[in-house]
Structure 1
Amino acid sequence: MTNLHRGEIAAEIGGETRTLCLTLGALAELEARLGAGDLAGLAERFAGGKVSARDLTAIIGAGLRGGGHAITDDDLARLTIEGGLRGAADIAVRLLKATFGEPS
Structure 2
Amino acid sequence: MANPMRGEVEIVLDGQPHIARLTLGALAQLEARLAEGSLADLVRRLEEGRFSSGDIVAVLVAGLRGGGWGGSAEDLLEQQIEGGPLAGARAAAQLIALAFRDVT
* TM-score bin, normalised by smaller chain: 0.7 to 0.9
Which residue type is aligned with residue 17 of structure 2? Answer: T
User: Percent identity of the aligned residues?
Assistant: 43
Give the SS at the match of 1:12. strand
Match of 1:82 in 2: 82
Q: Distance in 2 between matches of 1:38 and 1:51?
A: 13
What TM-score do you get using the length of structure 1 for normalisation?
A: 0.86
Unaligned ranges ≥5, structure 2: none
Compute the displacement of 1:62 (Å). 0.4
**Which is worse superposed, 15-24 or 40-49?**
40-49
Match of 1:63 in 2: 63
Give the SS at the match of 2:11. strand
Unaligned ranges ≥5, structure 1: none
Does the CA-based 8 Å contact 1:27-1:62 persist in structure 2? yes
Aligned residues: 102
Match of 1:3 in 2: 3
| Residues 1-104 of structure 1 mapped to structure 2, 5 A cutoff | 1-101=1-101
**Which is worse superposed, 81-90 or 24-33?**
81-90
Does the CA-based 8 Å contact 2:22-2:99 persist in structure 1? yes
Ranges of 4+ aligned residues in structure 1 off by more than 2 Å: 35-47
Compute the displacement of 1:77 (Å). 0.7
